Amino acid sequence: MTIGTQTVTGLAVGASATRTFSWNTTGVAVGGHTLVATHSLSDTNAANNRGTANVVVNAPVTDVAVTSISAPSSVTQGSTAAIGVTVQNVGGQNVSATFNVVLTDATAGVTIETQTVTGLAIGASATRSFNWTTAGAALGGHTLVASQSLSDDNAANNQSSVTVSVTPTPADLALASITAPSQVTQGDTAAVVVTVQNVGGSDVTSSFDVVLTDATAGNAVIGTQTITGLANGASATRTFNWATGGAAISGHILTATQKLADNNPSNNAASVAITVTSPSLHVGNLNGVAASNGNTWTATVQITVHDWRHNLVTGATVQGTWNGTGPNATCTTTAGGNGVCSVVLASIPNSTKAVSFAVTGMTLAGYTYKSSANHDPDGSSNGFSITVKR
Ligand SMILES: [Ca+2]
Ligand SMILES: [Ca+2]
Ligand SMILES: [Ca+2]
Ligand SMILES: [Ca+2]
Ligand SMILES: [Zn+2]
């Protein structure tokens, strides 16, 4: 059969002309073929008017190749990595058979996953996504090998590999808890208890600081403590003793922060609310004494002033009223008086068998009078008023 005809428009003496024929071998029988080239000019020497070449036509090859494998260069141990594998029919005929694409971890010697491809037309590609769960994978480099299982005419391109590094899970320290009393009297010390936990995937071997600040006071630092490392999952608790002598009498927000620059900064701090209250005074004891002066008598009431800790207070002024209607009386506790001062009502007629004295107020700069705390340890009064009998 004729493959093709081309025209040459004359040739000068000694000249040559070359023509190229494209032979489409689709449908051509497999085996040896003799191709014959002839020219059509009737010349004087017919013996050199043709040439031949022998060409062997081979059967079309079947060839599926793993053309690409995509993977992250590194993954955190415990996470799942997506590995994409693409196979292509690079041969000369369609592949109708189903074949497997297998992803293995050559470093660990395990098969990660097998997926199937249900045939590929000439030139077509198929991509499969594999999920590599690295929870049990050793740290370090892993060679992942993707291979296709079809027995084809070219085994050289049946697999491809990539190296993925499995890295340790970065540490994550969390400020797990912070507790404090809901209120503290100014001048007292409040214990603020802070717990830090290693909630990340690896041990923390370096030392790190935990800082307690008072957000209400411009984030003033109350204290800093150092924790010398924390194993994975472990907790450490530290107590900050907040001396409130200089703290404003108001609500305060105290914030504890762990200062290690870790993988997750969102859990590095926690806060607690605490109210600093003003120091208070109250009656710590009332005692009454009667003294006779012939036709009259004198009543003396000794008032003991306590602070909120029931310590004796110097310099507190006590106000009170005799007999409900008057006269009023005041006294001030002195350094030598052990927190006690006295009021005296003199010249009481002997016909008056008893008098009473009631505390109505108590003042000292920086303190408040907390009458609900009044008490009398020996039971001679109710802590608010006392009766003195002749
Ligand atoms: Ca010739
Ligand atoms: Ca192949
Ligand atoms: Ca953290
Ligand atoms: Ca008493
Ligand atoms: Zn007391």
pLDDT digits (tens, 9 = 90+) for 86-96: 999 999 899 99
Contact 100, 114 (CB under 8 A): yes
The vertex-55 CA angle with 54 and 60, nearest 5°, equals 165
Q: In this structure, what token pair is assigned to residue 166?
A: 């499995």
Q: How far is the CA of 280 from the centre of ligand 5 (A)?
A: 10
Q: How far is the CA of 305 from the centre of ligand 5 (A)?
A: 7
- Where does the pLDDT of residue 298 fall: very low under 50, low under 70, confident under 90, or very high at 90 and above? very high
Alpha-carbon torsion (322, 324, 327, 328), positive or negative: positive
Ligand with an atom nearest the CA of residue 197: 3
- Each residue's pLDDT tens digit, 129-163: 999 999 889 999 999 999 999 999 999 999 999 99
**Residue 216 to residue 175: CA distance in whole angstroms:** 20
- 39-46 LR contacts (CB < 8 Å, sep 24+): 39/8
Considering the segment(s) 173-277 as one domain, its CATH architecture is Sandwich (2.60)
Query: Each residue of 272-288: b (16+ CB within 10 Å) or e?
Result: bebebbebbbbbbbbbb
Per CATH, 64-167 and 173-277 having the same topology is answered: yes
- Each residue's pLDDT tens digit, 21-33: 999 988 899 999 9
- Each residue's pLDDT tens digit, 198-229: 998 789 999 999 999 999 989 999 999 999 99
- Where does the pLDDT of residue 70 fall: very low under 50, low under 70, confident under 90, or very high at 90 and above? very high
The vertex-211 CA angle with 177 and 272, nearest 5°, equals 40
Question: Alpha-carbon Rg of the chain, whole angstroms?
Answer: 51
What pLDDT does residue 168 have?
86
Q: How far is the CA of 388 from the centre of ligand 4 (A)?
A: 11
**Residue 102 to residue 279: CA distance in whole angstroms:** 77
Specify the residue for token string 């020996």: 378
Q: Is the pLDDT of residue 337 over 80?
A: no
Average per-residue pLDDT for the chain: 95
What pLDDT does residue 202 have?
85
Ligand with an atom nearest the CA of residue 261: 3
- Where does the pLDDT of residue 121 fall: very low under 50, low under 70, confident under 90, or very high at 90 and above? very high
Q: Is the pLDDT of residue 357 over 80?
A: yes
What pLDDT does residue 103 have?
98
Ligand with an atom nearest the CA of residue 200: 3
**177-184: average pLDDT:** 97
Q: Is the pLDDT of residue 344 over 90?
A: yes
Instruction: Please give the class, per CATH, of domain 64-167.
Output: mainly beta
Q: What percent of the chain has pLDDT over 90?
A: 89
What pLDDT does residue 75 have?
95
What pLDDT does residue 96 have?
96
In terms of Cβ atoms closer than 10 Å to its own Cβ (0-12, 13-18, 19+), residue 297 is buried
CATH topology of domain 280-389: Immunoglobulin-like (2.60.40)
Q: What percent of the chain has pLDDT over 70?
A: 100
Cβ neighbours of residue 278 closer than 8 Å, sequence gap 6 or more: 185, 186, 249, 366, 367, 368
Q: Is the pLDDT of residue 78 over 90?
A: no
Q: How far is the CA of 312 from the centre of ligand 5 (A)?
A: 8
Ligand with an atom nearest the CA of residue 374: 5
What pLDDT does residue 59 have?
85
What pLDDT does residue 315 have?
95
**Residue 318 to residue 333: CA distance in whole angstroms:** 8
**Residue 130 to residue 164: CA distance in whole angstroms:** 14
What pLDDT does residue 26 have?
82
- Where does the pLDDT of residue 373 fall: very low under 50, low under 70, confident under 90, or very high at 90 and above? very high
- The single-letter code of the amino acid at 58 is N
**Choice among 38-42, 247-251, 319-323, 332-336 with the minimum mean pLDDT:** 332-336
Q: How far is the CA of 90 from the centre of ligand 3 (A)?
A: 51
Q: How far is the CA of 190 from the centre of ligand 3 (A)?
A: 26
Q: How far is the CA of 290 from the centre of ligand 4 (A)?
A: 14
What pLDDT does residue 166 have?
96
Ligand with an atom nearest the CA of residue 64: 2
**Residue 327 to residue 119: CA distance in whole angstroms:** 113
In terms of Cβ atoms closer than 10 Å to its own Cβ (0-12, 13-18, 19+), residue 153 is middle
Order of strands across the sheet with 80-89? 64-70, 80-89, 125-133
The residue ranges of every structural domain in the chain are: 1-59, 64-167, 173-277, 280-389
Q: How far is the CA of 7 from the centre of ligand 1 (A)?
A: 16
Q: How far is the CA of 285 from the centre of ligand 5 (A)?
A: 8
What pLDDT does residue 37 have?
97
What pLDDT does residue 110 have?
97
Q: How far is the CA of 288 from the centre of ligand 4 (A)?
A: 8
Q: How far is the CA of 146 from the centre of ligand 2 (A)?
A: 13
The separation between CA 109 and the C-alpha centre of its own chain, rounded to angstroms, equals: 35
What pLDDT does residue 27 have?
84
What pLDDT does residue 266 have?
96
Ligand with an atom nearest the CA of residue 50: 1
What pLDDT does residue 125 have?
98
- Where does the pLDDT of residue 326 fall: very low under 50, low under 70, confident under 90, or very high at 90 and above? confident
- Where does the pLDDT of residue 338 fall: very low under 50, low under 70, confident under 90, or very high at 90 and above? confident
What pLDDT does residue 58 have?
86
- Each residue's pLDDT tens digit, 275-294: 999 999 999 999 999 999 99
Virtual torsion, Cα 43, 46, 47, 52, nearest 10 deg: 100
